[in-house]
Structure 1
Amino acid sequence: MASKASSGGFVETVKTVVYALLIAGVFRTLFFQPFWIPSGSMKDTLLIGDFLFVNKMAYGYSYASCPSVRIPSIGIDIDAEDICGIFDGDNERFLGSEPERGDIVVFRHPVNGSDFIKRLIGLPGDRVQVRDGRIFINDEPVGLEPDGTFEEIARPQGPQGVRPRCANGPVGEGGTCIKEKFVETLPNGVSHSVLNITSQGSDNTPVYTVPEGHYFFMGDNRDNSADSRVPSVAGGVGFVPFENLVGRADRVIFSSAGRSMLYFWTWRGDRFFEALD
């Protein structure tokens, strides 16, 4: 009798774990997806080590709404296309709604399928160009006003040990890394912070005409962002199809400046539950 009871208890435990995993999978697929910020391309809006939940209900659902599961250490690499690839290819969404200019969006890279997070700048049909670091949309310059500087410590950041680029570089270990800061105002009135490090090729671009059903994205840390200014086959992002949008980022839930979230002394308490502009 004891053996049967033990066996029954084990089966019930397995069922409980399976049900919990199924519920978690449904929740992540339909509602919110966790996302860690791995790079500095969205500073100072988002910092390396920020943790947020992506609102998947914001734009409806497509194949990209299915989660990818990648754990290289144990050989697991399950892509969203492996699970929901049947819905890929029509560039449409179920219960879809259009994103708004200025939204901070997580999307799947059009070529390699990695998740990216950038700010939506260009809508379908827009003509987008960068001249001397200022964005022009449909031949009109966006608002751009100086807003002091953004400062951080010059040291490795996050689990990958990424070192920041500095306008006052080179800066030694532990020194103050400075970037120019501006407030950018898009045509629909959305204002947000952008950073400038130096003058480089991406500060002057050709005119990009955004195709129907696609979007143009840029990082807020303009000189340190691989985005729609470079084609996806050349290491950038290019134009992103509507179906590749995963969801909208609205709020930072947690933030850690260290190599692990367990290093409580590196937590950024002032960023917990911070709303995003």
Structure 2
Amino acid sequence: GDFVIALKIPYGIRLPLSSAPKVLAFSQPKRGEIFVFRLNSDETKYIKRVVALAGDKVEIVDDKLFVNDSPATYEKLGAYHDLQSFDIYSEKLFGSKREIVLMQKDKPSSFGPVFVPENSVFVLGDNRDGSDDSRYWGVVALNDIESKVFGIWLSLNLKSKANRDFTPDVRWSRMFHWL
């Protein structure tokens, strides 16, 4: 798992012990940004990446992301065979670039199209086939966003087969990775 550095100030702060709208917002989420949020009154915190903003049309056709009918471009970075087989791709759309994970499967996934309503964003997990995100529970309201993620300060492989003593492997290449 990754341990992240996140700040509450960029998207606005809420008065303590209040569910009132945020005050002092300095910016709105942009495509490609990662943030921490809660869904409605659920206490669980989620971390996902923004792929579409209010007014945008989103769809996935054969594992390829389209926003406002503009396709993302993909470059395969590698294939891996561990407990499961998956591919890592560089995905680029509207100047935002990220690495995503797609499981190797017989039939590609499709979703949508959907339109993002006002005061909301559409989010996807970078582990596309292993992520619960806006495809499953809908858009995220701007008021549910808690903080903007800026980087990873610690990354552990909690599922490593090599560690039979139950101590996690440190993923040094992901440490202090700024997003």
Q: TM-score, normalised by structure 2?
A: 0.85
Q: Is residue 2:161 matched to residue 1:219? A: no
Query: Any idea what the Cα deviations from partners look like across 1:189-237, whole Å, max 9, x if unmatched?
Result: 011111110448882112110000000000011100000011x3xxxxx
**Whole-angstrom distance in 1 between the partners of 2:87 and 2:158:** 24
Partner of 1:123: 53
Bigger RCO of structures 1 and 2 (CA < 8 A, at least 6 apart): 2
Q: How many pairs does the alignment contain?
A: 172
Q: Which consecutive unaligned segments of at least 5 residues does structure 1 have?
A: 1-47, 67-82, 155-165, 168-178, 233-237
Alignment match of 1:109 (pick from 15, 39, 44): 39
| The structure with more strand, counted as a fraction of residues | 2
Q: CA RMSD in A?
A: 2.4
The answer to whether the 8 A contact 1:125-1:209 is kept is: yes
**Whole-angstrom distance in 2 between the partners of 1:220 and 1:100:** 16
Partner of 1:14: none
Q: Is residue 2:99 matched to residue 1:193? A: yes
| The structure with more helix, counted as a fraction of residues | 1
Decide whether aligned partners of structure 1 residues 201 and 127 sit closer, same or farther in structure 2, where only a CA change above 3 A counts: farther
Partner of 1:16: none
Decide whether aligned partners of structure 1 residues 200 and 122 sit closer, same or farther in structure 2, where only a CA change above 3 A counts: farther
The answer to whether the 8 A contact 1:196-1:223 is kept is: yes
**Whole-angstrom distance in 1 between the partners of 2:168 and 2:87:** 28
Query: Any idea what the Cα deviations from partners look like across 1:146-194, whole Å, max 9, x if unmatched?
Result: 222246x54xxxxxxxxxxx22xxxxxxxxxxx111111011x011111
Give the CA deviation at 1:84: 2.1
Q: Is residue 2:150 matched to residue 1:250? A: yes
Partner of 2:162: none
Decide whether aligned partners of structure 1 residues 196 and 181 sit closer, same or farther in structure 2, where only a CA change above 3 A counts: same
Code of the residue aligned with 1:241 in structure 2: it is A
Decide whether aligned partners of structure 1 residues 264 and 198 sit closer, same or farther in structure 2, where only a CA change above 3 A counts: closer
Partner of 1:54: 6
**Whole-angstrom distance in 2 between the partners of 1:111 and 1:200:** 38
Decide whether aligned partners of structure 1 residues 201 and 250 sit closer, same or farther in structure 2, where only a CA change above 3 A counts: farther
**Whole-angstrom distance in 2 between the partners of 1:125 and 1:221:** 25
Code of the residue aligned with 1:135 in structure 2: it is L
Decide whether aligned partners of structure 1 residues 258 and 130 sit closer, same or farther in structure 2, where only a CA change above 3 A counts: closer
Decide whether aligned partners of structure 1 residues 247 and 183 sit closer, same or farther in structure 2, where only a CA change above 3 A counts: same
Q: TM-score, normalised by structure 1?
A: 0.56
Give the CA deviation at 1:246: 1.0
**Whole-angstrom distance in 2 between the partners of 1:257 and 1:267:** 6
The answer to whether the 8 A contact 1:202-1:229 is kept is: no
